[in-house]
Structure 1
Amino acid sequence: MGPAPQPVNEALYGKCIEVSKRVRWDLDKDVIRGRSFQLSHKFLPDGLSGIDRFDFLGEDDKRLVSQVQGRTYANMFGFVERFITAKVLDCTRDHWLGSQVALESLVRFCDEELKHQLLFRRIETMMAEEMVPGYIFVPDPDAVAKAVLNYSTWAVLGLILEIELFTQEHYKKSIEPDSNLSELFKDIFLFHWKEEASHAMIDELEWERENNKISDEERDRAVDELIAIVADVDGILQLQSAADAEYFIKVSADSFSGDEVRQLKTGFLKAYRYQYIFSGVKHRRYQEMLTNNTTEPQRRRLEQALGGIESSAR
């Protein structure tokens, strides 16, 4: 006998369908609209790029930092949405012969994530046309997705919710209020945010359902897997932040001392750790879900692992 079927809150899944229909957008007609990136504007806002760590930079270089990090920011979303789509598609199995409302909401989720992947591939091409050659995005989306999908569904859903919560946090608190950013960059993340809001609701519903299906022993192993995934993410951030700092140093019109180079590399890594790990795991809704889905000793293990990452940048 398999695990008992879990109850489905069709009202909440139905709300996600309603939102999906209402905010639906077209990549060219609504988002890009024939525009290109103008390098006279910042891409990523100061609150995300951590620009205050680089007080030795002039205004041109501060703008360049925001553009380099903004390019990686867009690429990171295209990259993580590869495994997000695969895992959510896998979760539809539980609804094939059950709630068709829940099934439709997950299918719409996957359709929107495929559109987002296409959007970010287009954005990378457009940015490459404007920026100095030499930028490298390190992770291979398919290879990383295969590695992530080897972990339990509970652990992967925990990661996915963290990602989609920080997406909303970044847009509402940092990107939307900043009037100095590229309008195209802002619109990309406006429309991305519109669809991600309902995705986070589905993540919460599916993570709760998965949590109710598994045993205490399976959950305890899954917490260790979530810790391992976060460590894997941090390894990627270490590689990408180093590559981005080196690209920035290469294309900047200025030269930097050894100490300034160290500050740049450390500052990029701290910014990326905040962007992709800590702004998500510290989100109020994420902490509420952790409280619901884990025991206090399990949360302490996770907090200790995160504390080790947070304190390791020198």
Structure 2
Amino acid sequence: MPTAREIQRRINSVQNINQVTHALEAVSASAVRRAQNAAMSSRPYAQYAYEVLVNVAAQSRGTPLHPLLEVRPDVKRIAVVLITGDRGLAGAYNTNIVRRAMTFVEQYERPVHWVTVGRKGRDLVRRWIARQRANPDAPAYLKQQTIVAEFSNLPAGPDLEDVAPIAQTIFEEFLNHTVDEVFIAYTQFVNTMTQRPQVLHLLPLKPFEPSSRAILDLVQASPEVHNAHRVYTYEPSAEAILQEVLPRFTELQILQALRESLSSEHSARMVAMRNASSSAETLSEMLTLEYNKARQLAITSEILDIIGGVEALDQKG
């Protein structure tokens, strides 16, 4: 059994950890409100913008009106924008979205160019790629993965200027025919207790039609196309309008995914720190009880020693 001094040391350590987790919970609680407001305020606009993009793409006939609308029947390589956090201590937030993205890549069976947003995702993907390349039984498409760009330390309240470098990277990859499709893997904010990992088809701007049910279950459903009911009129011309609108609307989808992920990260960290604080308090109470028992045992042993010494003196006398 550990001594009272050893138990006291453990109690002090647990209490120090409890102070840290309480502080992190308070920071996340204040950050999640701002992130939540930003994500919720722009979500309706982003959803309608995405619906407009898909419907415009569906109305194109023959030569596409914009390069971002170009559909390539033979998909040789894809890009995945993976959004995670820069820090841990957020429960399963980072591992859940990375696992979702990896499962999608394994099911889609195409070489991948990764664009990572957040250090945690970058590190996990880098290790996964290294394991695949070292595995002689891994499929060829998994060995051909690479990280082409990485972004970290983005502002707590991102805007379109902050996601412009990310958008520019995937635009170049797609327009140069380096990749034929682009996806975003992010975490959709549902509520404080629930965050849902999602994979969103971004480029080309068309309804995603997966080749299997397994892929369909992994990719977020595309908006419904309303060819018979919605006709878009362009002034001065479709080319002039789309040249400006399509890149901006695409950037908006990236921004919304980033805001959803930030809300999810802060919520997950707040809940994880709350659970850690509760566990630390419970452990501290258990250790305090054990410490009191150890002290009582030590006091009892000392009393018995004193009684034994007195009896020994009486016998000598």
- TM-score, reference length from structure 1: 0.29
From the two aligned structures, give the one with the greater strand fraction.
Answer: 2
Between 1 and 2, higher relative CO (CA 8 Å, sep ≥ 6) is seen in 2
TM-score relative to the length of structure 2: 0.29
